[in-house]
């Protein structure tokens, strides 16, 4: 019980610190005078597929040519496992996975992006609390920056708005 309380307190503290980091990174990554960065990734939803994969969808908006990289990592503390198969009894375990996509922007515009995160366990991610870490880096001829964010969704089957 003590371990659960300590873990909960640590997650709450981490969420607060990452919230400050996200705000600071977003401000630092902007253009002159507080303008938005020339290339932005805006996450829209996390979809928990029946296959146990998490699909991150969103849009990339750009005001000038450049390149970007979207990287996402997910982890989830899941049930218990034993020798007879996953998710029955025994030790609790974590499921983790990640995905990345390189973006090339030829000029101004907006386009949809989708990244699929497969878990490292046989049945993948399940409904319940998860931790999602997003990182977006970009570079143009005149500007470069990065933004990082952490989400703590309670995943449900189907689409979960961000």
- H/E stretch holding 6 reads helix 2-28
**At residue 106, does pLDDT exceed 60?**
yes
Q: What is the pLDDT of residue 10?
A: 40
Report DSSP letters for 8-30, one per residue: HHHHHHHHHHHHHHHHHHHHHTS
CA distances from 30 to 19, 34, 57, 146 (A): 17, 6, 22, 10
With vertex at residue 14, the alpha carbon angle to CA 10 and CA 19, rounded to the nearest 5 degrees, is 155
Split at pLDDT 50, 70, 90, the class of 12 is: very low
CATH code of the domain in which 142 resides? 2.60.40.10
Give the whole-angstrom CA distance, residue 57 versus residue 24: 24
Number of domains in the chain: 1
Q: What is the pLDDT of residue 86?
A: 53
**At residue 136, does pLDDT exceed 60?**
yes
**What is the span of the domain harbouring residue 19?**
2-161
Please state, rounded to an integer, the average pLDDT across all residues of the chain: 78
Q: What is the pLDDT of residue 121?
A: 79
Q: pLDDT tens, 51-98? A: 999 999 999 999 999 999 999 999 998 765 555 555 555 566 789 999
**At residue 32, does pLDDT exceed 60?**
no
CA distances from 161 to 26, 42, 48, 55, 115 (A): 20, 12, 11, 11, 15
| pLDDT mean over 38-51 | 93
């Amino acid at each position: 019980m003590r371990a659960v309380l300590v873990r909960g307190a640590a997650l709450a503290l981490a969420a607060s610190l990452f919230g400050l980091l996200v705000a600071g990174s977003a401000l630092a990554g902007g253009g002159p005078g507080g303008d938005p960065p020339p290339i932005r990734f805006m996450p829209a939803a996390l979809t928990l597929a029946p296959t146990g994969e998490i699909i991150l969808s969103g849009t990339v908006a750009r005001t000038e040519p450049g390149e970007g990289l979207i990287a996402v990592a997910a982890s989830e503390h899941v049930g218990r496992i034993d020798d007879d198969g996953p998710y029955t009894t025994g030790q609790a375990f974590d499921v983790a996975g990640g995905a990345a996509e390189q973006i090339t922007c030829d000029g101004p515009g907006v386009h949809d992006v989708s990244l699929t995160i497969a878990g490292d366990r046989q049945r993948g991610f399940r409904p319940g609390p998860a931790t999602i870490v997003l990182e977006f880096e970009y570079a143009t001829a005149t500007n470069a920056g990065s933004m990082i964010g952490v989400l703590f969704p309670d995943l449900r089957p189907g689409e979960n708005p961000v």
